[in-house]
Amino acid sequence: RYKYPIGSGRVTFSSVESYRKAVEENFLTIIAPKFSKRIQIEPYIEDEPCGKCKVISAPNFCKSRLCFDYYCDNCWGWHHSIEGLKNHVPVKRNRKVERY
């Protein structure tokens, strides 16, 4: 049903703000009555159009609070050439490679 990688799970957040904070921080600590566990949080990158040009499929996602959007390769280069955004690292969606 869901196309999540092996070893991953689904987490539901109570608000968009808590989701964004967890993605930006990279880790989340789950505290339950019988255990506590620190897990890594990575966004599931869907097949989305670029958040800037809205035309091209966007394989890059910026999880910084300043951006938090999908970008095609061209728009990533343009948007992240601005001072203060140059150090952002894209989370990449794996592209399917056709084999012949």
Of 3-17, 27-41, 47-61, the poorest mean pLDDT is in 3-17
Residue 78 in this model has a pLDDT that exceeds 90: yes
Contact 50, 58 (CB under 8 A): yes
Range with lowest mean pLDDT among 27-31, 70-74, 93-97 = 93-97
CA distance between the termini of the chain: 27
pTM: 0.71
Helix (H) or strand (E) holding 70: strand 69-71
More confidently predicted of 6 and 55: 55
Predicted pLDDT of residue 99: 41
Residue-level pLDDT at 98: 42
